[in-house]
Amino acid sequence: GENVEQHPSTLSVQEGDSAVIKCTYSDSASNYFPWYKQELGKRPQLIIDIRSNVGEKKDQRIAVTLNKTAKHFSLHITETQPEDSAVYFCAASKGGSYIPTFGRGTSLIVHP
Amino acid sequence: KAGVTQTPRYLIKTRGQQVTLSCSPISGHRSVSWYQQTPGQGLQFLFEYFSETQRNKGNFPGRFSGRQFSNSRSEMNVSTLELGDSALYLCASSPLEGGGSDTQYFGPGTRLTVL
């Protein structure tokens, strides 16, 4: 089955810095890659996703890049703010009836 | 539309007991998935139901079971509780065919503590 590795497990940055979280996947048939943000005590919420026919997608300060050849994708957050502090999960899926496989999560801490 | 709801939000049980958790998906969503979340283990997939049938299953023992009703509401049951079952149990619903290519919307979770 699919295996998703996520790094780093913890990331500490100063407000205004950029943050990058990387994930690798094993199944070359995976074609859908969502990212979820889970604030303390709250539910995971989708913040951005990318499909395999696209190499990059941006939404304001957040961007995701995908390298299908290397089977890795990354989340980029620019100009980080304290409210970006949360656990971020990546996932990979083959779509259809297949369930996404999640990474173990990255705890992002943004220091004011 | 109302979001995914889960009841109860908190539960305290003792070892050996059983527990039933409930999840109501977003209206119109037919796929409901269950996850176990523990510190350091991320989101562990339990099972997924679609149109009242279990369509996908994770690597959990048979003590973990579930079902889905005709209105797409889902329940999961854990029998003979163990200390290691203490976790946040999240359900997520997806529209239409659900599964991998549709966005999953998570509920607030049920925090289960086993003493």
Q: pLDDT of A3-55, one tens digit each?
A: 999 999 999 999 999 999 999 999 999 999 999 999 998 999 999 999 888 88
Mean pLDDT confidence for A69-82: 97
- Model confidence at A94, pLDDT cuts 50, 70, 90, reads confident
Q: DSSP string of B64-81? A: EEEEE-TTS-EEEEE-S-
For A102, the closest chain B residue by CA position comes to B43
Report the pLDDT value the prediction gives residue B97, as an integer from 0 to 100: 62
Per DSSP, B48 falls in state E
CB contact under 8 A, B108 and A98: no
Report the pLDDT value the prediction gives residue A53, as an integer from 0 to 100: 81
d(CA A56, CA A53): 9
Residue from the list B50, B100, B105 with its beta carbon closest to the beta carbon of A100: B100
To test the contact with chain A by mutation, choose from B43, B50, B53 the residue with the greatest count of A C-beta atoms within 10 A, namely B43
Report the pLDDT value the prediction gives residue B94, as an integer from 0 to 100: 87
The A residues from 51 to 70 touching B (CB cutoff 8 Å) are: 51
> Does residue B111 belong to the interface with chain A, where contact is any CB pair within 8 Å?
no
Enumerate residues 6+ apart whose C-beta is below 8 A from B85: B78, B112, B114
How far is the alpha carbon of B73 from chain A, nearest alpha carbon, in Å?
18
CB contact under 8 A, B40 and A104: yes
Cα B37 to Cα A12, A52, A64, A67, distances in angstroms: 23, 28, 24, 28
Report the pLDDT value the prediction gives residue B42, as an integer from 0 to 100: 84
Report the residue count for chain B: 115
Task: Give helix then strand counts, H and E, for chain A.
Answer: 0, 11
d(CA A61, CA A21): 14
For B38, the closest chain A residue by CA position comes to A104
A90 bridge partner residues: A35
Give the rounded distance of the alpha carbon of A49 from its chain centre. 8
Residue from the list A43, A89, A94 with its beta carbon closest to the beta carbon of B42: A89
Is the pLDDT score of B98 beyond 60?
no
Report the pLDDT value the prediction gives residue B96, as an integer from 0 to 100: 60
As a whole-number percent, the residues of chain B with pLDDT over 70 amount to 95
- pLDDT, tens digit, 9 for 90 and up, residues B81-97: 999 999 999 999 987 66
- pLDDT, tens digit, 9 for 90 and up, residues B35-67: 999 987 789 999 999 989 998 899 999 999 999
d(CA B10, CA B21): 10
Residue from the list A36, A44, A99 with its beta carbon closest to the beta carbon of B100: A99
Q: Which is more confident, A99 or A36?
A: A36
